[in-house]
Amino acid sequence: MEDRVKQIKQQLSAHNYKLTPQREATVRVLLENEEDHLSAEDVYLLVKDKAPEIGLATVYRTLELLSDLQIIHKLNFGDGVTRYEFRAEGAEHHHHHLICLNCGTVDEIMEDLLGPIEVQVEREYDFQIIDHRLTFHGICHRCKGKVTDPKKLVGSKVT
């Protein structure tokens, strides 16, 4: 934990940014909730415990900054809010997500899986891939059996 904070501090200062107390509090909240996919509002509420005087705009600015420096990733699950998660250290690419259409839970797929497909796409479409986003929408193991007509669930929920 401390190592990672220190590392982020270095990443910031490498671009002439400082790890202010507000930024540090925000980073710590993100680190402490690494498995979740927090929205700016979520982060704001959690950060307030550590630093009650912080403003929502500061949280937004910090998240934007961390995102610019590619320390965190922005995610969009189509629910109208941007979510944030730490970029896996050293990982070339982003991992993937499983979104349950029944309960809304988001699980992670930590394998890349797309390697061969990317090679094919780069060749066929003459497109240089830098990043990707892959999300599967369906029924998670917890909801299996509870859902009678899965197709009905898709509707306008998926984006």
Partner DNA sequence: ACACTATTAGATAATAATTATTTTAAAACC
Partner DNA sequence: GGTTTTAAAATAATTATTATCTAATAGTGT
Using CB under 8 A, list all residues that contact a second copy: 64, 67-70, 73-76, 78, 82, 98, 100-101, 107, 109, 113-114, 117-118, 120-121, 125-141, 144, 150-151, 153-156, 158-159
Residue 40 contact among DNA, a second copy, none, beta carbon within 5 to 8 Å by kind: DNA
Long-range CB pairs of 13-18 (<8 Å, 24+ gap) are: 15/69, 17/65, 17/69
Residue 107: which of 132, 142, 79 has the closest Cα? 142
Q: Which stretch binds DNA (CB under 7 A): 35-43, 87-95, 126-134, 146-154?
A: 35-43
Do 134 and 96 touch, CB atoms closer than 8 A?
Answer: yes
> Nearer to DNA by C-beta: 21 or 115?
21
Q: Look up tokens 């090679």; give the residue.
A: 119
Q: How far apart are CA 29 and CA 38, in angstroms?
A: 10
Binding mask 43-82 toward DNA (x if CB under 7 A, else -) reads --------x-xxxxxx-xxx-x---------------xxx
